[in-house]
Structure formats: structure tokens, C-alpha cells
A and B are shown apart, each in its own frame.
Chain A
Amino acid sequence: MASEGSHNTVGIVDPDPIIGPGHTFETVTDKISAIVLTRPVTPGWVFGLLIAFSALMLLNLTITLLMIKGVGIWGIRVPTAWGFAIVNFVWWIGIGHAGTLISAILLLLHQKWRTSINRFAEAMTLFAVMCAGMFPLLHMGRPWLFFYLMPYPNPMWTWPQFRSPLVWDVFAVSTYLTVSLLFWFVGLIPDLATLRDRAKHKAAKMIYGMLSMGWRGSAVHWSRYETASLLLAGLATPLVVSVHTVVSFDFTIGIIPGWHTTIFPPYFVAGAIYSGFAMVLTLAIPIRKFYHLEDLVTARHLDIMAKVMLATGLIVAYGYLIEAFLAFYSGDQYEIYMMENRFHGPYAPLYWMLISCNIIIPQLLWSRRVRRNVGLLFVLSLVVNMGMWLERFVIIVISLSRDFIPSSWGMYYPTRWDWATYIGTFGLFFTLFFLFIRFLPMISIVEVRGLVHETNEEKGHS
């Protein structure tokens, strides 16, 4: 994709630009900062926030009940002792991958197109990881003892059990959260300064002022800013790979057929990016419509993201194939039964749904027309999100419900509280997101300005 930027150098106007024509520094700044500063609160936004917030309250209710009565309110049982909680955890973590990928890896790869989507992609990552982070705590039998999982000097002279992947999770996820947060905030500073300078209201000035930490845009500031972002990008890049690898260890370390698989790390990471980009599309498409940002988040962006999805989707497909192949190739009766159980066991419909959502339907993305069709793309992104959720369900629940000893096989049925917890996290996610698009620049002003600058320069040369 390195060619993307280069064919601009031909003196003609780019037929498929990554930023709409006629944009200058001012127009960009005005357009983006206006959404936060001058634009009145729209009923649409309030309505959305309300729905999200009520879902958040549902989450509150569920968590309270959970603390009072115990995890028994969920459908989990022996043998299926992990259910929705872990499915959702893995799913949200996965979604949280696009952000860092876009801002870190693509930054290092000098992909210009990333600039106009990285900000809210990062925000999305942050919120998704928050949602994900709750589940490992909530699903514990005695959550108030969560600190047993952390190494700290204590009068019991005990440590966590470092062979357990669950302990690795604690570190992986918390590190990921911290780094993404830093990355996101550092990126925000110059924009916050802009908002500070443009804000009319005193309070707004104060708040943005504090947040921008005295940014004056001096050369020194800029050079430090650049170094910081580069360093963070460097830090974040391995995380993109490591986090979901560690998460996949939660299963591969186990001996349950359907968990104990070496293909997991790569295909979990691919899957994560897959769902991550799907989620970015799910968010970007409506937003650019409502806030008329088609000229900043152009059809070209959507097209590129669709391509990324197609690519990662194929990796995931490969993962499924290998999984099935190895099951039979292994000659291990338990593995074989596990696969047969997926194909035509009691949960088979879900498995086939997963296959169609993640493999068959996304093949439409091969066609450019589909990639350019915003509505269709939006639907596709939803399908993939669902597919990826199903993938985790298949891996966790189907494998557990029928393992080694038939006498203790058992079906897992989610209770209403399982659903409440799931829907609740959407509440948390979207509440945060709605607040974000209202109070922070959802597109990086600075970087888009940079983009304008570069494109203009190129024009100048011709």
C-alpha cells in the first residue's frame, strides 16, 4: 500500500483522495473543533446517549445482583464453568485491537490515510478494553479477593501462581490499557490546545487548558511530541500482538479438546484485528454521516479498511480450516469427537452461523462495488462483529459442554442475567463514546492539517 501516497505526485487531481478537495488548515480546524465547541446539542445525540445510559444502568443492576448472590445467576455450570463472561471478555479485547494497530503500526508504516480515523479508533480501543477488563473480575466467585492475582508482599507469604495464563492476562490487559490511554492522550494534547484557544466559554477554556498541559505549539513542544508518539508507537506495536496472544493462552494452555491448539495465537490476533476493523466501520459510517465528515473520512478510507478486513478474515478462515483439519489428522478420538460435535452436535447451528458470518459472507468484499457501498459495508461490519462473538462462544462453550467423560456432559443455556451483562457493557461502551464525540475532537485536527499541508505541497510542485 506504499504506492497509495505516491501516485499523487502525478500532477493531476487525485480521483480518489484521502481528504476532500479544497480543505485548508482553517477549514479543517473549524470543521472539527466546531463539532465540540459551537455545534448545539442535537436531539439525536441526546437520544442515543439516553439509550446507552439506560443500558449502563442495566449493567449496574446486574453487577449489584452478581455481588449479592454470586455467579450462580448466570447459566454457568459444571462442566461449562465459563460462559458469556469470558466470551464477552475475549470479544471486547479483540475489538480493542484496531485502535492501537491503526495508530501504532500504521504510524510506523507511514500510512497517511490513518490520520483521519485513528483518533476515534483509539477511543474505541480504550472503551472496549474497559468493557473487557470488567469481565475477568466479575466472573470470579469471590471478586473482592481479586488482589490475590497480583504479586504484592503480604503476611501470607504467598504469590500468584505464575504458571497460570490468567495471571499473564492481568499483566497483558492492564499494560495494554495503560499504553493505549497514554497514546490516546498524548495525541490529544495539541488538539486540546486548539480547543482551548478557540473555546469561548471560560469553563471550557479552563478545562481544555488544564488538559492541554500548557501546550504552546513551540518547536520544542513539537519535537518532544513527535518523539513521544514514536516511542509510544514502538511500545504499543508489540502489545497489539502480545495481548491477544496471551488471551489465546487462556485456552491453549488447557487440555480441553477445542482449546488445546497451537494455531490459536496467530488466529486470535488476526481475528482481533478483523473484529476491530469491523467495529471501526460500524462506528465510522454513521458518524461521518451524521456529522457530515464524508470529506475527511472518505470512501477511500472505508475501502482500505474493508481490504484489511478481507485480509484478516482470510487468515481467520485459514485458522478454522487448520483447526478442523488437525482435529481429524491428529487421530485423537477426543479431538475428532469435538469437531464432529461442532459440525452436528446440539450447538451445530451456531457453528455454521459462525462459518457463514466470518468466512462466507465477507467474501463479498472482493468486489470494489461492495467496498464502496457504504450501506452494505455497514451491514457487513455488523455481520463480522456477530461472527467473531460466535467464534468465542463456539470455542469456549461447545468445547466445554462435551469433553472427556460423557456422564458429566451438560448443556449451557444463558440466563437473562447473562444477556443483561452483555447488553450492559454495550451501555458502558456507547455512553463513553457518545460523551467522547461531544467533548473531544473525534478526528485529529493536527494530523489532518499535516495531511492538508502535504497534499498542497505536492500540488505546489506540479
Chain B
Amino acid sequence: MSEDSHLKNSIDLVAARAKLTGAGAPRLWQSLEGLSGTPQFQEFSEYEFPPSAAKGNSEINRRDVLKLMAASAALTGLSACTKLPTEKIVPYVRPPEEILAGRPLFYATSLFEAGVATGVLVESHTGRPTKIEGNPEHPGSLGSSDIFNQAAILTFWDPDRSQSVVYDGRLSTWTDFAAELGNRRTLKGAGMRILTKTITSPTLGAQMRALLAELPEAKWHQYEVCSGDSVREGARLAFGRPVNTVYHFEQADVIVSLDADFLTCGAGHVRYARDFATRRDLSAGPASKLNRLYVAESMPTATGAVSDHRLPVRSADIDDLARQLAAASGVAVPPSANASPKIPSAWVEAVGRDLAAHRGSSIVIVGEHQPPLVHALAHAMNAALGNVGKTVVYTESIEASPVNQLESLRELVNDLNSGQVELLLILGGNPVYDAPADFDFATALQKAKLRVHSGLYQDETALLCHWHAPAAHSLESWSDGRAFDGTAGIVQPLIAPLYDGHSAHEIIALFTGDAGKSGHELVRSYWQSQRPEKDKAFEALWETSLHDGLVSGTALPVISVAPHADFVSLGRTAAASGDPSAIEVVFRPDPSVGDGAFSNNSWLQELPKPITRLTWDNAIMMGPATAQQLGVTTGDYLTLTLAGRRVDAGAYLVPGHADNSVTLHLGFGRTRGGTVGTGPGFNSYLLRTSSAPWIAPGAQIAKTGKKYSFASTQQQYNIDLDGHPVEEESSAAVGHGGEHGRDLVRIATMEEFSKDPSFAQNPDDEKNKGLTIYPGFKYEGYAWGMSIDLNRCVGCNACVIACQSENNIAVVGKDQVARGRAMHWIRIDTYFRGNLDNPEMYYEPLPCMQCENAPCEYVCPVGATTHNAEGLNDMTYNRCVGTRYCSNNCPYKVRRFNFYLYSDYKTPSLYGMRNPNVTVRSRGVMEKCTYCVQRINAAKIRSEEENRLIRDGEIITACQSACPTEAIVFGNINDPNSKVAKLKAQTRDYGLLEDLNTRPRTTYLARVRNPNPEIHS
């Protein structure tokens, strides 16, 4: 991915149209086959392989037997014992422009989370989108991305996606669908309701307004689980209107997060993580000015884990904490109705002082699920602390129509129940599954005369609708949308819709007389109408916008607003947490599958969640103290009753979780979630009511006596009540030197760091380096190495999914994960220090260390893993016979083995998704992180052809490019000026288990905390 292909202007529309119309799903394959001989074709030759049946279950049936015998035979073929199959070359008839077989193209576009757009670059191999990277030009990305962006590619190619228009369970056509809806225009919209998700798309917004103008009696409702209602309401409370808040973490010295996981979720989190990390940079040594992060939260989050002070409090008590803090920072506010004894006043005072000491350079930020009042308090605090205009700025809302979505949905449900609804049009979203339980949306829905649904999947909602039309995925449709700061990004398709998908634009157009207009025309004409530029000038603007992925200068202007004086009286106080010993239930979107929109995405399902390392499940998460008091432990199957509603689920102990509080993650227990999404976990929406959508007091928990087995990638999570394993394993891991310290994570406080800048150095390591009877190999030319900054890493997992996507890593399923066979090439180890109730938490991303004295190499009997001249530890799959000795002998245990045929050779649509430059591993083969050798080779070939050396930063590994905090840096350590070499020169640099003299090429920069000396945690 050299610069030029990055910035390739790929927007000759004629060509684009031609290409896309030329590449409808079936023909796409044909033209792809034309590239046989390019690595792409290798995906297709897997037609030779019969499909895999081995997904962990050890039962077999006759057909599998035959299939797999054939498979083995075919695999043997790879060892050149049978003839290669005859292949066909099917070239284009008329070649599309720009496409150069074997060279990827990158297109800039945007992806959405809760309506907020994040800019991405999508890698396309001859018309197939295969990989998603961040868009460096886009303010919401700056070149980085998150797990949802990365995993979107799998959702796009998901074979379970809805593939055709359905009417009353029978196949229908888009034409009929269009006709049916078109007829409704005459009714002036009487009894017509449209339910959408949050919309930031200017075009769609305009279309909706046009529609409402044309059909005045129609009503537009919005509902999305994580739409940030209380954020909106908080702003309304404070400022009288729902303004949008933008934070500047790069300028904040002190950050107080009240239950906000701003580093891994919510609008702009990718950007915020970057800004935050710039203040965790220690390249200036002890002189560097670190920020300080206080987090008060119930469930430990990624953000909580990197904080300098974490205070576990019940979410309901945050209200009280906020009031105390507000008072401390000079906001007139009555004390909470329900003061919580759990809040240490010393802590509050210390934080208050720290805030006061950093007027104008501090931030108070509140979690989406906190009640509006707390948000309002935060606004007041930021104002009182003089942060507004500096670290906190306000803009108009980025939404097309900012409404209280819960109320909006309530209104719709009322109309439905009173039978006023003739036509209900649901564009995206799955309210039957995720609407509050007390709405009983399923029943209400069926009172609508005609129910129309458009979505990516035929989900729970589609099932209850007359019409269902497959929606087009962002990667195959035209649209636009605003980023966290209002910057408008253009969404352009990389490929014609795989299935008969149509965007919301096209559906709304059916009512606004634009019927038949393509998404492209709609979006383009909207912008044409908005911009002063005309004709040629607009043409140019349009092309640059498409190329950059955003319309420059569309970031919303900063506005100045002042909070009401007496907003407190206006705001309802928080849901009374009642007696502090009563157990509260906190609902949270799942860190991996969100509100359920991603539940059919196996990458995300199998992704170990931050802190808990849990996969394929949600659980009743609780702290050790609460567990002790309830007499339960991880794996106990419990019954949780909340206001007459109940669910049964497994208990999962989380060190550092607040007492008398349990966290339930949403997004599981789907009944029509697709082959992957249906099944895992339990549906916590069944407990979630509109009166207490996020924090619900008074839960009753009882044991069922049954057990539930979880699949976690870190054994230590099977902790006993005394939490012994955690103590043992963590103390074995953390802590310096010592007989029982393995010194895996090296930590100091800022104080210790300034006293001893080289605290991370272990004298023994140096001693060991010399201990070899062989003369070391001299690396002329390149010597690849990696540096991982533990001080920057926020454990967001983006690297894990990015790696999975780049390297065609297979998914193995819950059973296999439980058996310790997860395949991730990079994992994020989590360790704890201190007591169970409020431990310090540490992340350690662990890819292959690419040791110079690699223990794996000399034990391989066939030389399938060998050292190359640039210090890479090559893994040659086709030579591997699977003795697994290398894995045994790897002290870091980063090698992954295909115990079964994990790669899916069965599903054609997945062929399209795979990276053509990486072999798809078959059964019985060892694999591991390669430093993205395919990218290294590509860059080398390019540079050699141009008679130059590879530039520093020209090769970016998948994990590195995804990392929002730039914690991972890769490069040539032979070049003293390379970024990585400079990082490795820092005093914080240390190698893992260096006392084994493995000489790892991947080294770490030690973690430095910046605690407030006034607080002793």
C-alpha cells in the first residue's frame, strides 16, 4: 500500500459505474476468475477442496467422512504427490479502467456507528473489498479504526445477509416493492410512520424533510439503543437545546470520567483515543507531561483499566459523586437525594483539588447511560472550570433531527396500539429485538396495517413484517454522514450490491418523486444543491471529496452556550438507587457485538472482551465481594429477577466491579440472528424497560444450582471466591524481579520513573545477551522489529480484528475457544495488581516476538519455521507437518494450530473477503504472526523496482494501522533514524522473558502511571 495507491483518485464516475454495473455478484466471480494466476485465484482453487465439517464437535457422519477423506487427499496434493487440477483463465471482455490485476486499490468512504460516521479506506482487489483501514484525512479516524470498522468487511460478505425482497414470506422483487410503496404517495401520508435509526446523513435528512413536506400527515420516528438519549437530554437540560459536545483530550491535563468509556465507545472514540494517547507519550522521558485520568465506574472498562485512579462505584451512585464533584468545583447544586456511603470523600476532595488546579485544562465527561442530570452537571462543571472553549467545545447537533428517541419510540408504540398506523416503514434497526421490554413492540407492531422492513438481515423484526427489502451495506451503496465533529463524509460503493440491496435513500425516494433515482444521483444532487461551486468547480470539489472521503470544511462551527442557572431543579433526579445494599442492574452495549447489530459477526463474537477475556457470551458480571455475599462464583447459573421480569444466565466474576451492582451486556440471545448470532448468550433486553433503560435498582438474584460454561481466553478468569488464581498468576506476572516476579509487565509511577528512568531495565537481561557460543548473525540490509508502548495501549482490541482480517485467520467457535484453541495471532493479555475489589489493570498485546534466537525454529523436524535474513521468523505452512513441537517450545505461546479444518472452504462469499496475498491454512498446520510479511514483500518489490530503500513507515502492519493510539510501531531497527529504532532506544524499552536469551524483535515500552500523590489506592 504505497502512498500513490493510497491517494489514488479513484472516482472517474463513468468508469466506476461501468465497473460496478459490470460486476454484479455472479459476474463478479467470473471476472475474478480472470485473475487466476494472481493470488486471488488461490481462493478459488479451493473449490477443489470439499467443505469442512470440523467445527469442534467430535461427532461425525458418513458424508463428512467422505468429504474429509477427499479433503485430506486434496491436501496431500499440496505436497506434490498428486497432479494440480487444471485451471481456467477467464479474462475480461472489456477491461475496467484502473484495475490492475494483482495490485489493490484503496477507496475512501465512511462507516457508521450509532449514526456517527468514521472515515475509512477500503482495500479492493479487482473489485472485491477485502480490508478496511482508517482514513488519515478523516478527523474521526486519523488513519486508525476500531473493531467495528474492521469487522464490517465480514458483515458485508456475510452469507446470512438478506438476499432478496420478501412479501409475506414469499420471494418478491424490488419492482413490486417499489410499486407497492409508490402507490402510498397518494395518501398524503395519513397513518404513515417511518422508523429509522439515528440519521446524520445530510442527504437523507433533506430527503426526510422533503417527504414530510410532501406527505404532511406522515410521522418520522427514530430509535436506536445507544443513541445517547441522556446525552441529548443532558444538553437540553443545561443549554435548552441538544448541542453536540466535542472534547479535546490532547489538551487536557486532568480527565474525570464518570462511568464513561470514551476510549472505546461513543461518538469519536477512535479520535479521542488518539488524542488521549498523545498525552501518554513519554518520548521526552521524565520531563514529559502526562495527563491524569480518574475513572469512576461500576463495570471495569478499557478506559477504567488505563486510568490512574479507578473508583468502583455503582452506576446509580455516580449521580451523588457528580453532585459532590460539582460542589467541589464551585457549582451550586443540592446534595443527592440518596447519598451513597460508598463514595470516599477524601477521593472526591482530592479530585476536586486536582480539577481546580487545572482550570481550563481539565475535562469532566459522563457516560451515555448516566441520567441527563449528571450530564448537565458535567456541562456545568466544565463551564465552572473554564474548560469550555479550550478542552470542551460545543457545536450544533450533528443529527438530521435530534430527538429523544425513547420518547419517539414510545409515541410510535402508542399510535400503533391505538390502531392509527396504516403503513409502518422500518428502515434499518431491529426494534422487535431491542425495544424496551415494557413497550412489547412485537405485539404493537402487528397492529399496523402494512408493515415494511428494510435491513441487512431478515431479523426478528423482518419476520413480523409483510414486506422485507434487503438493505445495501455501506460498502455497496452511496450515502453520506457526519463525524463526531460534524465533518461530512461521502459514502461510496466499492462494488455493485451483492444481493438485491437498496439504500434508505432509494426507499425514501419512492415517496418524494425521486423514484428510480440512484443513490449516487441523490447524494450528488444534494451536495450540488448545497455548495456554491457550480459545474466544473463542483466537479472538482466532488472528486476531491470522494477521494478524501470527506467534504472539506463541513465540520460544524463552534458555538458558545452557557448552562442555565437552575437546571438542577429542572432535571428529574436519577432513578432512586434506594437502599445502597440493593443490587442494581446496569445495561451496557456489549464491548464486542454492541447492541446486537454485530451479533452475526463471528470475528466479534470470538473476540475476547477487554478485561474479562470472555468470548461468545454475555453474563451476569459482578464483583468478587458481591459474589461472595451471594455465595456464587464464575460459572454458577443464576436467575435474575427485575421488577417481575426474569432471565437465567451464568455468573462471571470481574475483579474491580463495583459491589451491589451487576452488569448485563446487550446484544445476545438473538432468536433470528443468523447462523452465528442465533444462540450465544442470553437476551438482557427482556429486563430492560423504558423507565430504567440503563440503570435499574432492586434486582433479585438466586442460584439455580445449574452450571454454565464460559469460553474465556485467559484461564485466570475461573477465579475462586478467594480469587486465589488471580493473585497467583498476576503476582507471578507483574511486579519487578523477585523470586516470584516474572516481570512480564514493567510498571512505575511517574515519581519512580523520574527517580530511575531505566527502571524497566533488568541487569540480568543484558548479561544474558552475550551468552552464546555461536557468533550472532549479522543483519545487513533490513532488520524488522516492533515496539509496543504499554503506556499508550488502551486494550481496544482493534489490532486483534485487523490482524484477523488481514491474515485470513479462521474462527473456531466457543467449544474450541474453551479448549484453548483460539486462533488470534495477536492477543491482549490482562493482568491485575492489588486487591480484588479495586485492582490495577494492565494490558499487554502479544504478537509473535520474532525472536532472534527463536526456540521454535531448531525443534521443527522439517524446517517449516526458519529464520530469514531480515530477522523474520518465517512460517511455511505448506512444509508444516504439525508436530506442534514449535508451539511447545515457544515461551510466549503465540503459535496457533489448526487442530481441525478451521478455515471455511465451504462458503463462496467468504472467498471474496479473503486477503489474496495470504495462504488460507488447512488442517494440521501451525500458524502465527508474520509481521504481515505479505506487506513487507509488497513494499520490497515496489522499492526494488524503484531502485530505492524502503522508507520508514512505508510498511505498516495490520495491527499498527488499526491501533488508534499508535501504541504499535513497526520498522527497520537497522536504521537508527527509524521511528521504531528511536523507541527501542528509550530507557523504558524492555523485552519479554529476555532472561531466556530469546532476543525478541518485538519489545515493550514500560507502563508509567501518573497517580495523584494525595490519593493512596
Residues of A within 8 A of B (CB): 65, 67-73, 75-82, 139-146, 148-149, 155-156, 158-161, 163-167, 170, 253-256, 333-334, 336-337, 400, 403-411, 415, 417
Contact = CB atoms under 8 A, between A and B. Distances in A.
Interface stretch (B378-386, B543-551, B898-906): B898-906
B58 interface: yes
26 contacts: A67-B72, A69-B60, A69-B900, A72-B56, A76-B899, A82-B888, A140-B882, A141-B881, A141-B882, A141-B899, A141-B926, A145-B881, A149-B881, A155-B80, A161-B860, A163-B858, A164-B861, A254-B855, A255-B996, A403-B891, A404-B892, A405-B993, A406-B732, A407-B714, A407-B733, A415-B58
Nearest to B896: A78
B759 interface: no
B819 interface: yes
Contacts of A145: 76, 79, 881
A88 B609 CA distance: 38
Contacts of B730: 406
Contact of B897 (A141, A165, A403): A141
Interface string B730-741: 101100000111
Contact of B884 (A141, A146, A158, A170): A141
Contacts of A255: 855, 889, 891, 996
Interface string B975-1007: 000000000000000001100100000000000
A141 B880 contact: yes
Contacts of B859: 163-166, 253-254
Interface stretch (B62-70, B195-203, B409-417, B481-489): B62-70
A253 B888 CA distance: 12
Contacts of A159: 863
Given A76-B884, A140-B883, A164-B859, 16 more contacts: A67-B69, A69-B54, A70-B923, A72-B899, A79-B888, A81-B885, A139-B883, A142-B881, A144-B79, A148-B879, A158-B863, A164-B861, A165-B859, A253-B859, A407-B733, A410-B715
A272 to B, nearest CB: 21
A167 B926 CA distance: 18
Given A65-B60, A81-B888, A336-B739, A407 B716 contact: yes
B862 interface: yes
B898 A405 contact: no
B884 A70 contact: no
A156 to B, nearest CB: 7
A408 B893 contact: yes
For the residues of B in contact with A, the DSSP-based class is loop
B715 to A, nearest CB: 5
A388 to B, nearest CB: 22
A254 B858 CA distance: 9
A336 B887 CA distance: 22
Contacts of B895: 78
B861 A149 contact: yes
Interface of B: 54, 56, 58, 60, 64-65, 68-69, 72, 75-76, 79-80, 714-716, 728-730, 732-733, 739-742, 744, 816, 819-821, 827, 829-831, 844, 846, 855, 858-863, 879-885, 887-889, 891-893, 895-901, 923-926, 992-993, 996
A319 to B, nearest CB: 22
Nearest to B738: A333
Contacts of B993: 404-405
Contacts of A164: 858-861, 885
A141 B54 contact: no
A142 B864 CA distance: 13
A82 B859 CA distance: 14
Contact of B887 (A78, A142, A409): A78
Contact of A417 (B58, B729, B884): B58
Given A148-B879, A158-B863, A78 B893 contact: yes
Nearest to A417: B58
Given A164-B860, A404-B891, A141 B715 contact: no
Instruction: Enumerate the 6 nearest inter-chain pairs by beta-carbon distance, A residue then B residue, closest first.
Output: A141-B882, A141-B924, A72-B899, A77-B820, A406-B729, A81-B884
A71 B885 contact: no
Contacts of B740: 333, 337
B821 A77 contact: yes
Contacts of A161: 858, 860-863
Nearest to B66: A68
A222 to B, nearest CB: 45
Of the candidates A142, A163, A415, the one having the most CB atoms from chain B within 10 angstroms of its own CB is: A142
Nearest to B993: A404
A403 B993 CA distance: 12
A155 B861 CA distance: 19
Contacts of B733: 405-407
B79 A69 contact: no
Nearest to B885: A166
B900 A72 contact: yes
Contacts of A409: 715-716, 729
